[in-house]
Structure 1
Amino acid sequence: MCYVLYYCRTLRNFIKWLIITPFCCFARQFTRSRLVCLIKILSVYMVTLTVLFIICQKLPYSYFYRLYDSSGINFARIRILNDQRRFKAHEVLLELNPNETRSMYLENAKSDHLKYAIGVVTVARKNFISEVGELKYLTQVMTQLHDVIAKQGATNDVFPFICNVDLKPEDFDEALHLAQYFPNITKLYSSTYQQGSFQRTGKTEMEKQDYVFCLESALEYSPDYVILIEDDAYPKDNFLEVLEHLIKTKLETNIRRGERTLNTVRWGWVKLMIPYSLTKYHRNWFFFYQWVALALLHSGIVWLAYCFYIECCSSTQESPANIIKTYARSLCALLFTFIYFLLIIWIIGRAYYVQVRSFSPYLHALEPGTSCCTPALLFPSSEVPSIVKYLGSIKCSRHFPLDFALDNYRIDNNIKQYLVSPNIFSHIGFYSSLRQSYNTNEAEFV
């Protein structure tokens, strides 16, 4: 007991000497010069906030964007971007030979060493939206997939296919046109189901059933990995290169004590995209740690520079009182700088810091996944049968959607899920096929 009391007193004295005493000394010495210093600090804060407000007016993911642009959705800009992608897709189709392209991919489906089966889950979207013009999301996604696969030289390893789950697939003109170029798998419905069962089943449950159908369809080709994407998840130019790197270095193997070993951790899926508006620092413990770590990194660099400056300007011999004052000023500088960078990083938004990694495929990382969203997922084929069986045993609803069901499966089976950071797919579906309405989160599209 005496030892415990002794160590408690020693710890208390250490904390008092390290933190409390310098700040008390600083408080007693709060003269006019300290007041001037505080005013200077507040001035720096105000100037920084003003500059950030001017800069962040054009940054859709920043906290100042909505304060500046409250006029509503920028349909003109969304339409321009969509038209640019449609024009690019049209050019790609003009260069393709329909029979050769389709035959090439169908030949891949017979391979015993198929690496990826990529299913694009699609339903017809209404095209009467004058604000954004003709949509053609499926055309954009399929042509971009083919373009990336061809440029990466992976045409023998990948089997992309259209998974048409529309209630009236024979009336889905866009999918029927693309079926000339790419393999097309259609989910057939009876006329009885079309007339009444859809309303009784519900949109969310129907979405889950469609997802299960596409998973099972992809698994029939015996690939190593199944990638299921929605028809408005647009692949980035380096998505295959990033996947190859992450699979080889993070998922199949990992490095321990300088040696590469097989990864024995069971994982269910990797999320290849999540809306950046849902990855703000307060939405996940990992994102929160990133926020604090970034602020500590920036403030630590500035603080070291400040300490170096003080050391160069100080006299060779100082009294103990002056040493304590200098130490107190140093701690205050670190505190104010840390708060300063916390504020700046929060205002700018996590999306722009994450994008720094997009300069190279080797800078992408795997982070702990979140429960949200299923626009683009990578599954190991070994895990797909269990997922299909689980999804078939439960019913989804508006309060229990597909992404929540997958998260429950992960928790029940104690498996890992990951998130690629930054995204290697982008969301182009401004008009939602599930809600049959506009997506109010404009930042994803401009």
Structure 2
Amino acid sequence: MRPIKSLLWLTILFVITFTLWIPPLCIKLPFSKFYYVYNKEKDISEKAELLNSRRYNVSLAYFSSLHAESSQQFYHNMEKLGHLDLVVAVITVKRKDGTLGYLTQSVARMDKLLKEDKHFQRKYLFICNVDQDVNSHEEVKKLEKYIPAHYRFKNITRIPHTSPHISLYLQQNHFTTYQKETIDYMFCLEMAYSMNPEYVLLMEDDTLPLPMALDVVNFKLKWLTLFRNPPMTNFAYIKLYYPPKWQGFANELRRILELVAIGMVGAGCFVAVFAFRKKTSLQYLYFIFGAVYFILVVLLLDRQNVLELRRIASQFYSLNISPGCCTPAMFYPRWVIPQLLSYLAGENNRHHTDIAIYDFITSKNLTAYQIEPNLFVHIGMYTSIHQNSRKDPQEFIFSMY
């Protein structure tokens, strides 16, 4: 009777899990296998726009609560201290639809985070406006009362005239949109570098830092420089955001090994629960059932949602070798910036900025990392390059408050 009872309990567990628990859970979780089965893309898009409006209103309320002169003075005082620990630059360009409020949200979140942070004692935040019509970016004009702003096509004097890239920054006409994008990126990076920081965080105006972002970065820096054997002091950068749509389980060796590892954990749990201190021929059955059960659960939830369990503590975030794509939030040590600028100056007409940066590290045989899960979220459902292009709306279903 014992084998029959065991099989019965295992069957009941499977039925309850995959009919009563997993489907309702997956309906609410973007990137799960059932999300688009039960949610229409139009409804998801409307929900994403509603969440964006709420975040924008919260950000406006945040700035309303600030004293403009005191906020500016905070960063001016930091700048006077000299050698800074961290400079954060928010690169921005005017969007066709100015009501989206992406820049306002990004600056509000980062300003709040920096002013509360205890790890980077000397820090500076500025808006880097790279729009050619410097007076048309209404969001910058509203925010520069609270946060320092610098302009590529206005006050370029902050960058030393000895810089070999001045002629690029003064260039008004560009062969392609992507060439301007790369030169804009160079300008903001060099502007931040000119303030003599230990590290630079360059973020795009449609990304938001999560509450633990600076805590995790600080922990990973300590791990790289103090606890890693041998210490890694010359990494090129740490990527703080990578598109969630590419973070799922896939036909890649590393992701397959992750699934196998999860299956082994599940197998061990089932043996421990159902066959603890019992020598039974069913141990192998429990092992197989446990592995299959856990693998099916995580496959249905998909890897993006499983990664969220790592947010319990800074120690659980992982550092992986950086992929090539995407620059919404990049963390650079000071030493690499002059070399990167020189490389981008020669590549700005041939590749997208992210690919050029990746080519730089591969050509120089440098190590760069990506943190998982992401420390930033992307809010730019509508891009600044392709004005009428909308991204997959499920990427933008999240709550920050």
With structure 1 as the length reference, what TM-score do the two structures score?
A: 0.77
Amino acid at match of 2:134: P
Q: Which whole-Å CA distance do the structure 2 matches of 1:156 and 1:266 have between them?
A: 22
Per the alignment, residue 100 of structure 1 pairs with 70
2:128 counterpart (151, 155, 163): 163
Q: Which whole-Å CA distance do the structure 1 matches of 2:208 and 2:232 have between them?
A: 32
8 Å contact from structure 1 (residues 56, 62) kept in 2: yes
Per the alignment, residue 164 of structure 2 pairs with none
Per the alignment, residue 394 of structure 2 pairs with 443
Residues 311-340 of structure 1: CA deviation (Å, up to 9, x unaligned):
2xx6xxxxxxxxxxx2xx533442343233
Per the alignment, residue 219 of structure 2 pairs with 245
- 1:155 offset after TM fit, Å? 8.3
Q: How many residues are aligned here?
A: 381
Residues 92-115 of structure 1: CA deviation (Å, up to 9, x unaligned):
212222223223313322333301
1:75-90 equivalence runs, <5 A? 75-90=45-60
Output the aligned Cα RMSD: 2.9
Seen in structure 2, the aligned counterparts of structure 1 residues 144 and 193 have a Cα distance that, compared at 3 Å, is same
Seen in structure 2, the aligned counterparts of structure 1 residues 283 and 376 have a Cα distance that, compared at 3 Å, is farther
Per the alignment, residue 176 of structure 1 pairs with 141
- 1:309 offset after TM fit, Å? 6.2
1:119 match: secondary structure: strand
Seen in structure 2, the aligned counterparts of structure 1 residues 396 and 356 have a Cα distance that, compared at 3 Å, is farther
Amino acid at match of 2:225: E
1:224 counterpart (192, 195, 198): 198
Q: Which whole-Å CA distance do the structure 1 matches of 2:359 and 2:228 have between them?
A: 30
Seen in structure 2, the aligned counterparts of structure 1 residues 39 and 70 have a Cα distance that, compared at 3 Å, is farther
2:314 counterpart (340, 346, 361): 361
1:404-415 equivalence runs, <5 A? 404-415=355-366
8 Å contact from structure 1 (residues 53, 64) kept in 2: yes
Per the alignment, residue 268 of structure 2 pairs with 300
Q: Which whole-Å CA distance do the structure 2 matches of 1:405 and 1:285 have between them?
A: 26
- 1:223 offset after TM fit, Å? 0.2
Q: Which whole-Å CA distance do the structure 2 matches of 1:385 and 1:73 have between them?
A: 46
8 Å contact from structure 2 (residues 183, 348) kept in 1: no
Residues 395-427 of structure 1: CA deviation (Å, up to 9, x unaligned):
455xx4222222222222222111222222111
1:106-121 equivalence runs, <5 A? 106-121=76-91
Residues 76-132 of structure 1: CA deviation (Å, up to 9, x unaligned):
32233122222221222122222232233133223333011101010111227xxxx
- 1:55 offset after TM fit, Å? 2.4
- 1:174 offset after TM fit, Å? 1.0
1:181 match: secondary structure: coil
Residue 430 (str. 1) matches residue 381 (str. 2) = yes
Per the alignment, residue 344 of structure 1 pairs with 297
- 1:203 offset after TM fit, Å? 1.9
8 Å contact from structure 2 (residues 381, 396) kept in 1: yes
Residue 330 (str. 1) matches residue 300 (str. 2) = no
8 Å contact from structure 1 (residues 364, 421) kept in 2: yes
2:32 match: secondary structure: coil
Q: Which whole-Å CA distance do the structure 2 matches of 1:193 and 1:402 have between them?
A: 17
Any gaps of 5 or more consecutive residues in structure 1?
Answer: 1-32, 129-133, 257-261, 315-325
Bigger Rg, structure 1 or 2: 1
Q: Which whole-Å CA distance do the structure 1 matches of 2:17 and 2:212 have between them?
A: 36
Q: Which whole-Å CA distance do the structure 2 matches of 1:59 and 1:174 have between them?
A: 32
1:350-429 equivalence runs, <5 A? 350-396=303-349, 400-429=351-380
1:267 match: secondary structure: coil
Seen in structure 2, the aligned counterparts of structure 1 residues 81 and 62 have a Cα distance that, compared at 3 Å, is same
8 Å contact from structure 1 (residues 284, 370) kept in 2: no
Q: Which whole-Å CA distance do the structure 1 matches of 2:78 and 2:119 have between them?
A: 11
Amino acid at match of 1:230: E
Q: Which whole-Å CA distance do the structure 2 matches of 1:163 and 1:410 have between them?
A: 25
8 Å contact from structure 2 (residues 131, 152) kept in 1: yes
Seen in structure 2, the aligned counterparts of structure 1 residues 44 and 264 have a Cα distance that, compared at 3 Å, is closer
1:259-278 equivalence runs, <5 A? 263-264=231-232, 266-278=234-246
With structure 2 as the length reference, what TM-score do the two structures score?
A: 0.85
